Amino acid sequence: MTSTIAAGTAPACPGFDPHPRTPKLRLPPLSCDAHHHIFGPYADYPMQAERSYTPPEATLADYRRMCQALGIERSVLVHPSIYGTDLASLLGTLAQCSDWMRGVAVVDQSVDDSTLALLDRAGVRGVRFNVLFKGGTPLAQARAIGARVARLGWHVQLLIDLAAHPSFHEDWKDFPAPLVIDHMGHMATANGVDAPGFQGMLRLLAEGRCWVKLSGAYRTSSLPHPYPDALAFVEALVKTNPERLVWGTDWPHPAVQLMPNDGDLADLVPVWLPGEDLRQQVLVRNPARLYGFD
């Protein structure tokens, strides 16, 4: 059972902007936000004690309001580290949104097959390994769990810093399940696109062994919006394999001190993905295939 902890034990986060601005360019119909979280209500879903940050509540009602402003019609709920492997929040949210939302869960090696089957029926399509924040499953369990979830047609999602993984291609090229890489590899832009870890991810992407989320530029950039130093990374990914890219808001932007307005983030879409067909590919067709939207 999860529990809350005393204020101040884990750093508090500022709140998301509750007034998302309508983007200048409307997203295509059936656009998918492939990466977001829900926090709370904490009376129903309390945070676990072992966590790296303390976010304010960001409820499903808040998220729906943001989606309406941006024109998002499909989404992927990523189970956040503040809940560890307690999936009550994930399952509760998916039960209310089964027609337009899929999920990515956090499990460990103790999960049984009946639980995996239940998660699959609920709309879960992958499992996440988060090594950057407390509450994640150890990366050492990824291969064994990946082999099990691959039988369900799921993927394994990684939140790692590619700067710390220079042999990324060699380490993951024979992984038993499809890989999805969070936030373009979560590597500081100062490392440059020639960094070995990023190049290793590009190799896996070119080989069709992984997918990459175009998201979280504010986590890696050293510059304010529109994060111009992240553009070279996006362009390298698009050039390598646009059929294996998805886009996400990372709403409500947890553990970020300067919260962006989601309208500003959506305005990056035509910059990162110039051309209507490319936007259809990344925002609609790719996530429909990866997450099994009908």
- d(CA 111, CA 103) in angstroms, rounded, equals 17
Structure token digits, residue 214: 């175009």
Catalytic residue among 33, 182, 250, 262: 250
Nearest-Å Rg of the Cα atoms of the chain is 18
Q: Strand 155-159 vs strand 74-78: parallel, antiparallel, or unpaired?
A: unpaired
- d(CA 148, CA 86) in angstroms, rounded, equals 19
250 is catalytic: yes
Element containing residue 272 per DSSP (H, E): helix 269-272
Task: Return the half-sphere exposure (C-beta side, CA atoms, 13 A cut-off) of residue 91.
Answer: 13
Q: Exposed e or buried b for every residue in 257-281, given b needs 16+ CB within 10 A?
A: eebbbbbbbbbbbbebbeeeebbbb
| 3-class DSSP assignment, residue 74 | strand
Any idea which residue has 């939207």 for tokens? 293
- Cβ atoms 140, 117 nearer than 8 A: no
The gap between the terminal CA atoms of the chain, to the nearest Å, is 35
Active site amino acids: 250
